[in-house]
Structure 1
Amino acid sequence: MKIQKEIIEFEDGKSFKLFSPSLKNCFFWHYHPEIELVYVEAVSGIRHIGKDISGFTESDLLLIGSNVPHLNFDYGIQTECWQMVLQMRENFLQNTIVPVPEFEKIKLLLERSYLGLSFYGETKKLIVEKLHLLRKKSSIDSLLGLIEILQILAESEEVKELNSEDTRIKWFLNDKIRMGTIYDYIHENYDKKPNVNEIAKIVSLSTPAFCRYFKKQTDMTFTDFVNNYRINQARIFLLKESSITEVCFQVGFESISYFNKLFKQHVGETPSEFRKKHLNKIDRSIEINNF
């Protein structure tokens, strides 16, 4: 599960590609020089872009800059999940956008995408509609459609920056300690008892030095980071048949009361409220699809 460079191939005569990947059972921690727009639809999932690891519910629309490490957004999702991924050629910004003065806002948007941008509200709704239409357009019309999408995103205020600093692959590879090694350890041990002394030893640091390093890299303590990861996993497991108590222990917590308290702090609702709300949405969706 070390970080991988993804090699993206494009059709001749195409500036971008639009497709719907599915990698549910694959931990694909990767990067590529192409800028990417991702729409993912799922009851609950985890987004991991650069330093940011956070959860999403129902759907997410993300613009990911060149060479920013990220995890596939359907990883570990046990319910239905669907994605649309739009990848622009590596030279798209320099060759297509930069030379045209009218594209100044788009240029600034794409340059800022290295932070990882999450769009919401009416912007997300509109862009999803435009992406669906893009599939049906001819070659030149699809390019104009992409420009329209980027212009809408560039002018939107319904956006959140996921990282506060540069986390492109150069930052990761120049770092003496690969954050990927730490992420791998947490991913493998979050449901057990991740030990800060053990991971510090793995990356050849004293425990105090590791704690300082980890806080600097993630803006969280190791314990807070692990708990955040556990809560995001719990949101996925809560939508399966396990009870809330079973989920609590499944993700590594030993106290139901502490799990409930922490879950509400992170998600804004209790595990039972979260489950009831989103299972009702799943049931309604099934009813509509079967009608």
Structure 2
Amino acid sequence: MKVLQFTIPVPHDHTIIVQQDIMPYFYPHLHRHEEIQITWVQQGEGTLIADNNMHTFKSNEIFWLGANQPHMFKSDPSYFLPKSELEIQALVLFFNPHGPLSALFNLPEMLNVKRFLQQNPNGFKIPAEKAEEISTKMMLIHEHIGIEQMIHFMDLLRLISSIESLGALSEGSRPKLYSENEGLRMSNIYNFIIQEFEKPITLEDAANKAHMTPHAFCRYFKKHTGHTFLSFLNEVRINEACKKLTNESPIGIAQVAYSCGFNSITNFNRIFKRIKGKSPSEYLEEFFK
């Protein structure tokens, strides 16, 4: 994965960074940093790319991203329309367990928390039933400073590390990290696919966007993402289909299929089951039961 290396500015009098974001859309480039990141999406929806995996996100969801884990919260295309008045809001915590906090994590009383960090390098999503409790604690960290903030931070770690059966945002080892220029190239490719997936885009279209021949692009994309162009495109489309199927104003399965770039219901059903392990109707039944 080609990603931008970020350095989170750390004030001399803080070891926990609290950031309140209110913007037209999330930062649209793949990036990574040494700090572990906890993001509470207070308002917004889109697709989270973590390493080479995709996950939909919406308001009131919380994600834990591991240290140096390549990621991008990509807002839905509606946020990028010329006259869009939409905005995202997020409360984000950053901390580096290997910086000044290392002494804290090396205490014997913190052994379980330290082990939890080591066991979850690839991040996870906070279960929905725990989101309110975790977001309340994050708000307390945001509202306090000094020792009170540290106490709330340690309690947050206690709460999160006690959650069982967390599913990783990505599986396996991470690919080698490369240059900043290639990070921008991969970001542009991802952004193109995520913004244009509803259209009948082709391999040639994506290759042209990357200024490569189709053959060279195939090898490049597969090497750096672990996906073929078509498999990644299909995952983007199926992720969007899941959002539309479970929307507050749901539309029919056929309409969802066509609106997400599929040209036949049969093809949509086949690819949906291959990616999600169940048919669209089974997915809906399980979601709403």
Same fold per TM (> 0.5)? yes
Spell out, residue by residue over 1:227-277, the C-alpha distance to the aligned partner (whole angstroms, 9 max, x if none). Answer: 221233455677699976776555433335644775687677859x97xx9
Find out whether 1:132 has 2:133 as its counterpart: no
Q: Any conservation in 1 of the 2:10–2:17 contact (CA below 8 Å)?
A: yes
SS in 2 for 1:109: helix
- Are 2:231 and 1:224 equivalent residues in the alignment? yes
CA–CA separation in structure 1 for the residues paired with 2:58 and 2:274: 16
Q: Give the one of 154, 157, 160 matched to 1:150.
A: 157
Residues in 1 aligned to 2:27 and 2:158: alpha-carbon distance in whole angstroms: 33
Partner of 1:37: 38
CA distance in 1: counterparts of 2:99 and 2:154, whole angstroms = 11
* Contact residue 16 and residue 94 of structure 2 kept, 8 A: yes
Question: Does the Cα contact within 8 Å between 1:45 and 1:77 map onto a contact in 2?
Answer: no
Deviation of the 1:95 alpha carbon: 2.6
CA contact (8 A) 1:41 1:81 kept: yes
Candidates 240, 249, 253, aligned match of 2:262: 253
Q: 1:237 to 1:120 in 2, by over 3 A?
A: closer
Secondary structure at the residue paired with 1:13?
coil
1:51 deviates by 1.1
SS in 2 for 1:161: coil
Matching residue of 2:48: 47
Residues in 2 aligned to 1:73 and 1:181: alpha-carbon distance in whole angstroms? 12
Q: Measure the CA separation in 2 of the matches of 1:25 and 1:31.
A: 18
Contact in 1 for aligned 2:45/2:76 (Cα 8 Å): no
TM-score (norm 1): 0.71
Which residue identity lines up with residue 104 of structure 1 in the other structure? L
2:162 is the alignment partner of 1:161: no
Secondary structure in structure 2 of the residue aligned to 1:25: coil
Contact 1:51 1:218 in 2 (8 A): yes
Provide the alpha-carbon RMSD of the alignment: 4.2
Percent identity (aligned): 24
Aligned counterparts of 1:229 and 1:139: Cα–Cα separation in 2: 43
Relative to structure 1, the CA distance from residue 23 to residue 224 in structure 2 (aligned partners, 3 Å threshold; closer, same or farther) is farther
Instruction: Quote how far apart the aligned CAs of 1:70 are.
Output: 1.0
Give the distance between the partners of 1:77 and 1:146, measured in 2 at CA: 35
- CA–CA separation in structure 2 for the residues paired with 1:44 and 1:269: 24
Q: Secondary structure at the match of 2:143?
A: coil
Question: Which residue of the partner structure matches residue 92 of structure 2?
Answer: 85
Q: Which moved more, 1:233-242 or 1:186-195?
A: 233-242
Contact 1:39 1:85 in 2 (8 A): yes
| 1:171 corresponds to | 177
Q: Is the 8 A contact 1:97 1:106 kept in 2?
A: no
| CA displacement, residues 203-243 of structure 1 (integer Å, 9 cap, x when unaligned) | 86774x86577556555443232022123345567769997
Answer 1 or 2: higher relative contact order, Cα 8 Å, separation at least 6: 2
- Structure 2 residue ranges without an equivalent (≥5): 80-85
Task: Report if aligned partners of 1:44, 1:235 keep a CA contact under 8 Å in 2.
Answer: no
For 1:233 and 1:172, the matched residues in 2 are separated by 29
Residue pair 1:33, 1:66 contacting (<8 A) in 2 also: yes
Structure 1 residue runs of 5 or longer lacking an equivalent are: 279-291
Q: Higher mean Cα deviation, 238-247 or 210-219?
A: 238-247
Shift in Å, 1:60: 2.6
Normalized against structure 2, the TM-score is what? Answer: 0.71
